[in-house]
Amino acid sequence: MKVLGKVAVITGGARGFGKAFSEALLKRGAKVCFADIDVSGGQQSQRELAAKFGETSVHFVKCDVAKEEEFRDLFRECLSKFKKINIMVNNAGILDEAGWEKCIDVNMTAMMRGTYLALEKMNPENGGEGGTIINVSSFAGLYPAHFLPAYVATKHGILGFTRSLAMDPLYQSQGIQLATLCPAFASTNMVTDIIQGEAGSRQKILYPDVAIKITENMGICSVADITDGFIELVEKENCNGDVLLIDKKNGKQYQFVNKTTS
């Protein structure tokens, strides 16, 4: 897709990947409506991005994606401000092995809701123009990790859900593509807070010391490495059904290149 002039909705955009993805799209001439549960972080990012790309290009919406009405309001607000939605990025995600139900609500249920809402708004029969939906899974969507069982379950779920919808001829006929991004460890707060022993962060996973050792072996990607893969997916003419794994040692690797069993 050519990004210039397109409108994107990005969840979890106050920091980390979501903020970097927002900036990368703005740099290429898109308008971005980003959402986050973190109001002060979101407002701060809004100020920074507006200073670089203009007040009229970027809009922050306070939204807890686990709350259906707030998620619906996000789409309403984006349409009212920017009139269309061409790119949807379900990026918001958490680690919470002790509160695993919350992990499922945010990582899995909300990702599904965001996908269904985007499909509705992108449908040409509803006034949409088609579009691209990128769901952010993880290396943990492809491989197990005993320190993150609930998180791994949600990330496997994202992969299965997104690949399945990508096979549906209905969405293909509407000009809608769906792809999955699978980053390995990257240097956002999700990882760095645990390494730095930030208060509470180590309780989010099991066996934090084992996990830290694994990051030492696997290496840690930069946010720019992951953003580069994200933009590659969005800009591809056909990303439908793609699963892009990115890790420090091997870089970008497309998985399941034969997309169906038939």
Ligand X SMILES: NC(=O)C1=CN([C@@H]2O[C@H](COP(=O)(O)OP(=O)(O)OC[C@H]3O[C@@H](n4cnc5c(N)ncnc54)[C@H](O)[C@@H]3O)[C@@H](O)[C@H]2O)C=CC1
- Residues with a catalytic annotation lie at 151
The entry of ligand LO7OFUQM, ligand X, none near residue 194 (CB within 5 to 8 angstroms by kind) is ligand LO7OFUQM
Residue 157, SS3? Answer: helix
**Which residues, listed in sequence order, are joined to residue 147 by a DSSP beta bridge?**
none
Pick left, alpha or beta for residue 12 (phi over 0 → left; psi -120 to 50 → alpha; otherwise beta).
left
Read off the tokens for 145. Answer: 């990790």
Q: How many CA atoms lie within 13 A of 68 on its CB side?
A: 4
- Residue closer to ligand X by CB (options 94, 167) is 94
Q: Nearest approach, Cβ of 81 to ligand LO7OFUQM (angstroms)?
A: 31
> Binding to ligand LO7OFUQM (CB under 6 A): which residues in 144-163?
145
Q: Which H or E run includes 214?
A: helix 208-218
- Residue closer to ligand X by CB (options 12, 128) is 12
- Residue closer to ligand X by CB (options 38, 228) is 38
Q: Which H or E run includes 81?
A: helix 68-82
Instruction: Rule CB under 6 A: say whether 94 interacts with ligand LO7OFUQM.
Output: no
Q: How many CA atoms lie within 13 A of 175 on its CB side?
A: 14
Q: Of the ranges 15-23, 51-59, 76-84, 120-128, which one interacts with ligand X (CB under 6 A)? A: 15-23
Binds ligand X (CB under 6 A): choice among 14, 61, 74, 118? 14
The entry of ligand X, ligand LO7OFUQM, none near residue 92 (CB within 5 to 8 angstroms by kind) is ligand X
Of 194, 237, 195, 229, which is closest to residue 97 (Cα–Cα)? 194
> Binding to ligand X (CB under 6 A): which residues in 69-128?
91-94, 106
Give dist(CA 135, CA 138) in Å, integer.
10
Q: Nearest approach, Cβ of 241 to ligand X (angstroms)?
A: 19
Contacts (Cβ under 8 Å, ≥6 apart) of 253: 244, 245, 246, 247
- Contact code string over 178-217 relative to ligand LO7OFUQM, x by CB under 6 A: ------xx----xx--xx---------x-----xx-xx--
